Amino acid sequence: MTSLDPDRLDWAKGDGLLPAVVQDAGDGAILMLGYMNREALAKTLSDGQVVFYSRSRRTLWRKGETSGNVLDLVDVAADCDSDTLRIRARPAGPTCHLGTRTCFGDQDDSQLPGFLGILETVIRERLESNSDGSYVASLAQKGRQRIAQKVGEEGVEFALACAAGDREGQLDEAADLLFHLMVALANQDLSLSDIIARLETRHRQ
């Protein structure tokens, strides 16, 4: 899960406490900020659910212990100064006690983080511009049936690579499949964020 060494963290700087930024392991959204002492970090690592130290009550508290909206730990990392923690977790429900997904309100999830967000933007721009020489635009000009056919073809090729145990083929075909899936979604005015939201809804049911 993690190779974090608690003894290498700078506990002294914050009088025994480290700020812990919690990030959704699914889409990278920032969920909340809490604080951990050594014991809270140890329990988090050992129990697999995020535990904080309450500065007001001066005691440990497990996120979601009353609401059931726990944070299942994925991994923990320290920043470059070893005085701040990044906690990646999978939330079992709304993180904020006010009922919102995050403690910063219901964030706009229409934008994907990182490279997928960049790729999605490029795909949408090329669909809208209908530019000459663009593979995405030329594919769209052939109609949604052809786009759907490409998704099916790439899906079959990925499945065949999996059946053959071809790791490099799996990577290549999965990349092709994801790319054409994103094109198909954008062509229908949908995005991967919509798929993520649907999966999260199913997970919470």
Closest C-alpha to 23, from 106, 85, 100: 85
Confidence of residue 2 (pLDDT cuts 50, 70, 90): low
- Terminal-residue alpha carbon distance, the chain: 27
CATH architecture of 6-91: Roll (3.10)
> Would you tell me the crossing angle of helices 144-164 and 167-187 to the nearest 10 degrees?
160
- Sheet with 85-91, strands from edge to edge, namely 30-36, 18-24, 85-91, 71-78
Position 106 scores a pLDDT of 64
Of the candidate ranges 1-15, 64-78, 177-191, the one whose mean pLDDT is the lowest: 1-15
Position 131 scores a pLDDT of 65
Confidence of residue 107 (pLDDT cuts 50, 70, 90): low
Closest C-alpha to 196, from 27, 24, 4, 30: 27
What HEC string does 48-70 produce?
Answer: CECEEEECCCCEEEECCCCCCCC
pLDDT in tens, 10-46: 999 999 999 999 998 877 888 999 999 999 999 999 9
| Residue range 116-125: mean pLDDT, rounded | 85
- Inter-residue contact 203 to 91 (CB < 8 Å): no
Position 148 scores a pLDDT of 97
- Inter-residue contact 137 to 129 (CB < 8 Å): yes
Domain positions in the chain are: 6-91, 114-204
Position 194 scores a pLDDT of 83
pLDDT in tens, 160-194: 999 999 999 999 999 999 999 999 999 999 988 88
- Inter-residue contact 180 to 99 (CB < 8 Å): no
Mean pLDDT of the chain: 89
CATH number listed for the domain at residues 114-204: 1.10.287.1080
What does the block give as tokens for 166? 């071809």
Residue 1 pLDDT exceeds 80: no
Beta-strand runs (E) in 25-179: 30-36, 51-54, 59-62, 71-78, 85-91
